[in-house]
Amino acid sequence: MRAIKYMLAAAIVLAGCGAARAEPVKIRLAYIVPVSNWATMLFQKPGLAKHLGKSYTFEAVHFQGTPQLVQAQAINELEIGDHGYSSLVFGIVNAGLNLRVIADELQDGVPGYYSNQYLVRKDSPIKTVDDLKGKILGVNAKGSGTDIPMRAMLRKHNISDSDVTIVEAPIPAMPAMLADRKIDLGALPLPFTADPRVKANDRILFQQRDAAGISPLAFWAARASWIAKHRAALVDFLEDVLRQERWYLDPANHKEAMEIAARVGKHPPAFYDHWLYVKDGEDGDYYRDPNGIPNLDAIQANVELQHKLGFAKQTIDVRKYTDLSLIKEAAARLN
């Protein structure tokens, strides 16, 4: 009996040593646009992340557009995709990924907040969407969250894909491509439309909300099997994320937040005055939910629009691919 007790005690000690040696969970989070996407801004303010290096490690991974991050998740080179409604469908339907929406990041076109801008040169003869026939249109990636609304706007004006030339280009290059007349229209998100040179040289032809209403432009999705395996570390990560996001969203921290954004984005601090600070719909920021709760109705509506326009071969029930229990548990720790 005494020998059994010793064996049990030894097993408990060994188990404890094994737990102590457990490696933190690797979390790689995608981003498309520096500063606008949270991945680039997380962990820039010391002291706000309580679990980093303990239960998880973090890496921000850049992609030109959301379709590319689907490929990365498919081959396990990315844990959390910074998806839009278009790539969510592509990931589930085309790539066969059993994804779950776990948290919101930003929403385009919420009344009173920013909406992506589709710009032409100020001296361009293009005055209306109808004038885009025969023109060259620039997007960051075909099938992205800015490409599909642009095509939806074209459809509203009876313009088919064959009536225009759509080219892919890095977002930072589009203002120069407009200036050099390599494209006639460019799809630009924040912070690039806040550049004084863009404001001086270009004008808005239409905005994303005009084509798609409220667009859940960025939300986080991970594979269900990975979530189940690493749930505790993921909740720790989301707790740290919410704590940081709330610090950034606090107007009292706006000056310091601008300075951090300037360092990350490599522009003067005034360039980011709009960021997290809503002045009005054109010069403000996207809507960001302080509790990280996505607008599932808006995601579903955009998924249906994508299918209706023929950009996706089938639709999905978004709620079947959603797990908000993690972000709610994380928020409950802070509330």
In the chain, helix, strand, coil percent, each to 5? 45, 20, 35
Residue-level pLDDT at 313:
84
Q: What pTM value is reported for the model?
A: 0.84
d(CA 292, CA 87): 19
Residue-level pLDDT at 290:
87
Residue-level pLDDT at 194:
81
> What beta strand segments (E) does 23-116 contain?
25-31, 56-62, 80-83, 99-108
Token pair 């960051």 in the structure block, residue: 140
Residue-level pLDDT at 11:
39
Residue-level pLDDT at 269:
83
Q: What is the DSSP letter of 48?
A: -
Q: How many CB atoms lie within 10 A of CB 297?
A: 12
Q: Which of 163, 154, 167 is nearest to 134 (CA)?
A: 163
Residue-level pLDDT at 241:
97
Domains of the chain in start order, with CATH, are 24-109+215-334 (3.40.190.10), 117-212 (3.40.190.10)
pLDDT in 10s for each residue of the chain, 335 residues: 433 333 334 333 444 444 445 799 999 999 998 998 999 999 999 999 999 999 999 999 999 888 889 999 999 999 999 998 889 998 999 899 999 999 999 999 998 899 999 999 999 999 999 999 999 999 998 888 889 899 999 999 999 999 999 999 999 899 999 999 999 999 998 888 888 899 899 999 999 999 989 999 899 999 999 999 999 999 999 999 999 999 998 989 999 999 999 999 888 887 787 777 666 656 688 999 989 999 999 999 999 988 888 888 889 999 999 999 999 999 999 98
Residue-level pLDDT at 66:
84
CB burial of 258-284 (b: ≥16 within 10 Å; e: otherwise) equals bebbbeebebebebbbbbbebeeeeeb
Residue-level pLDDT at 10:
39
Instruction: State the burial class of residue 334 (Cβ atoms within 10 Å of its Cβ: 0-12, 13-18, 19+).
Output: exposed
Residue-level pLDDT at 6:
33
Residue-level pLDDT at 19:
44
DSSP lists the bridge partners of residue 165 as 136
